[in-house]
Structure 1
Amino acid sequence: MTHLRARTGTVGLAALAMAAGALVAPAHATTITAAPQAAAAPQAQKGGVRLHSNAELARTLKQIERASHGRVTVRSVGKSNEGRPIWFATLGSGPRRVMYVTQQHGDEPLGTESALAALRTLGQSDSRAARAVRSKITLGIVVRANPDGHEHQWRYNYDPDADPEYGEPGKGYDINRYHDPAVAPGDNPATEAAVIQRTYAAFRPSIVVDYHMQGRYAFPPPDGREITTSILWPNHPSVSAAALRRSKQVGVAVHDAFTRAGAVVSQYPGGTYQGIARNAYGLLGSASLLVELSALPPEREHFQVRTAYRSMVELAEAAASGALDRLDPAAADRIPPRGPSLPGGASAARDRGTH
């Protein structure tokens, strides 16, 4: 978990493809290049990324929907405890369904900014590669699953009467501990987790990727590089061999996309609890992956958004082209484990260790 300072305002998304630079073409697909009006990631600017407020997020999603000429559809799939809509954006008409979730923890916002950029590129571009993706997959994104947590600048949802097993009394529930497949949405005390459960059941994705943030870590000497991203697939012992294999293939594809963009990637040291989204949706048979963006200094947040954007777009390309299914899942096990926390960075305990 990380606590980013409040910085609201519309992200400057125009001309992002130029700011991000041309995508390095993966071996499996023709790279999608954003059209000028379908920018890919925030323009470089001094300081950190300017985050969308909840009201700005709603307006921006509707703008993307209008500009896509029907390719992107945005709807509310539920409301938070304080009555804010939880948005689900979809594009494409292909049979393979891919679902991304951002910002289950309210103070981990950069995945949301990356998702907006990916929606613009995949939904607004008229390139041959973008059209191919839309014809082969249907992509759905839960954009900011925890709008109340974003508003209050904390990890949890907003439920001051909560006395949770996972969460904080007087604040709310840790949404990413309440996806247990054995608990029906109607019995789920974490409202926003129940919304994700219902969305998953209705959308039926074969792939689920959950975007979070973590503290700052480095590989131990002699490597010593700072880790910018950590990933992990399901590790609950009851996840089927087939779901685990597909999850690791997704992990390899996402690792490679981040690495091509200049990220330094490790395995995340996550736990086996079945209520964590990456385990829960793996238990339900989907390929499931957790992505953790490190809380780098403000001047490097644009890099983090850009690399996460790249992972979203390139995974969609790999799923659409079939290249994803040809990846060696054993390569995931060769991704090195996360190293120790950096002095002054968030500790593993602060991260709760099991996103």
Structure 2
Amino acid sequence: MRARTPRHAAVLAVTLAALGLPIVAVPAQAAATAAPAPPPRTGFETSRGDRWTTEREETEFLDAVDRGSDRVTVRTIGTTKQGRPLRLAAIGGAGGGVGAGAGAGTGAGTTVLLVCSQHGDEPSGREACLTTVRDLAYAQDPQTRRFLSRTTVLVVPTANPDGREADTRGNGDGVDINRDHIALKTAEARTLAAVIRDRRPDMVYDLHEYGGTSPYYDKDLLALWPRNLNTDAHVHDEAHTLSESYVRPAAGAVGFSSGVYGIWTDPLTGKPLKQVAGDGQERILRNTVGVKHAVGLLVETRVEALTEAEKDDHARNQRRRVHTQLVALRGAFAYVEERRGPLLAATAAARHRGFADRGPVLLGGADNDPAEPGEIIGDPPCGYLLDRAQYAEFGDELALHGVTVRRDGDGGFVPLRQSARALVPLLLDGRASYRLTTGQPMEVC
């Protein structure tokens, strides 16, 4: 990780100010000449944080933003089992409109994907994402306009609509979507996989909340990068920089405390005590996107009220949670603006490395937990053969993951020599914990 310097801190402060949210004010001259309608507000905003935005209010809000700004396009990209829409908002122009096909967002511009409230009972990220869509769509300041001229911001405002409606962690079937990014059994995870495959985001930012344990695990904000050992080293380092040099410092700059997700710390010394979460399993989104060559980050805001004022006023508590998300998100945008070159270089190189890589594939471990000998495929096969039944059952999932399959009669051959090289054994090797199926390893192609 690049060390933070006084100059870097100053640049970060300027960039954060330039990309400050909310940024929805209409210039006086424009107001006098065009008299535009005021930007829409969420149910959370109109209630001053007393309640969360309803599904109907979200629909009306996004429709109003879509109508009110030519900078944003909102589209339904999937449907949950209970029939609720999964929406994608696209703001900016670097990667093309929402309807762009495979490969969009892979030119000179940068594509960022925000995934909001995968867990339905963690609503603060959703509120932050909704207002961010609006604020970016209506912003008139030159810094934000320049940012959007080189950046496409994709936002899935409610990644788990059924869970949000029921206020449950899981979806309508009780499935934790954030444990389904390998198997792709849920409509929600399948929809996200298609977006990642087709839009190839350079950064995926995943917004959550957590229940703390005072005094060891009660920071206002926690963050964590991909720990999976198959993440390209440069992609991993950029994700670490995003967390430790931008997102957490942005929170600290306005007085919020922060830490690393999953790590209990001594309240007096700040030293780590034990790890309670945040491993390297590939089925979790922050790890999945790392293996798929995107700079990923999980962010979590604390649910519990720690101050007497928040305990006495749940709206104050809820406003703090959303404000923390917004401040952290400003840090993520500052990272994109300042490290656009290294970010694009890291993701582009990682996407090509699988065609030439001959190194091992790791089936376990993490960046802070070396893989055991039995978790290392030291000499990977050249590919895996699927029979007719396997291909019929899992061909769609492989396609959603963007994995290349060479049809072989009624079955298929999945070569390792492809962009998704490290992902293939995680999906098809008999030793992988979350595999789709067990393919036949082939030593000669």
Matched, 1:31 2:18: yes
Alignment match of 2:181 (pick from 179, 182, 195): 179
Q: Which amino acid aligns with 2:293?
A: G
CA distance in 2, matches of 1:85, 1:43: 23
Matched, 1:255 2:251: no
**2:67 aligns to what?**
66
The answer to whether the Cα contact below 8 Å between 2:114 and 2:155 also exists between their aligned partners in 1 is yes
Aligned-residue offset at 1:88: 0.7
Aligned-residue offset at 1:122: 1.4
**1:194 aligns to what?**
190
Matched, 1:268 2:285: no
**2:320 aligns to what?**
303
Question: What TM-score, normalized by structure 1, do the two folds share?
Answer: 0.73
From the CA coordinates, give the structure whose radius of gyration is larger.
2
Q: Which structure: greater helix fraction?
A: 2
Taking a change above 3 Å as real, the CA distance of residues 64 and 44 of structure 1, as seen in their structure-2 partners, is closer
**2:125 aligns to what?**
111
Aligned-residue offset at 1:261: 2.8
CA distance in 2, matches of 1:232, 1:29: 21
Aligned-residue offset at 1:104: 0.6
Aligned residue-pair number: 280
Q: Which has the higher contact order (CA 8 A, sep 6+)?
A: 1
SS in 2 for 1:57: helix
The answer to whether the Cα contact below 8 Å between 1:251 and 1:289 also exists between their aligned partners in 2 is yes
**1:164 aligns to what?**
none
Question: What TM-score, normalized by structure 2, do the two folds share?
Answer: 0.59
SS in 2 for 1:113: helix
Matched, 1:277 2:285: yes
**1:330 aligns to what?**
none
Measured on the aligned residues, the alpha-carbon RMSD in Å equals: 2.6
Q: Which amino acid aligns with 1:215?
A: G
Tell me the percent identity: 28
**1:139 aligns to what?**
153
**1:5 aligns to what?**
none
CA distance in 1, matches of 2:329, 2:242: 11
Over residues 15-39 of structure 1, what are the superposed CA-to-partner deviations in whole Å (9 max), with x where a residue is unaligned? xxxxxxxxx9724465235133558
SS in 1 for 2:18: coil
CA distance in 1, matches of 2:161, 2:46: 26
Runs of 4+ in structure 1 displaced over 6 angstroms?
39-42
The answer to whether the Cα contact below 8 Å between 1:38 and 1:125 also exists between their aligned partners in 2 is no
The answer to whether the Cα contact below 8 Å between 2:87 and 2:156 also exists between their aligned partners in 1 is yes
Taking a change above 3 Å as real, the CA distance of residues 25 and 233 of structure 1, as seen in their structure-2 partners, is closer
Aligned-residue offset at 1:320: 2.8
Aligned-residue offset at 1:120: 1.8
Q: Which amino acid aligns with 1:177?
A: R
Aligned-residue offset at 1:318: 3.1
CA distance in 2, matches of 1:276, 1:79: 21
Taking a change above 3 Å as real, the CA distance of residues 136 and 49 of structure 1, as seen in their structure-2 partners, is farther
Segments of 5+ residues of structure 1 without an aligned counterpart are 1-23, 160-171, 327-332, 334-355
Equivalent residues in 2 for 1:338-353, closer than 5 Å: none
CA distance in 2, matches of 1:39, 1:246: 35
Aligned-residue offset at 1:210: 0.4
**1:236 aligns to what?**
228
SS in 2 for 1:26: helix
Q: Which amino acid aligns with 1:279?
A: N
Aligned-residue offset at 1:118: 1.2
Q: Which amino acid aligns with 2:209?
A: M
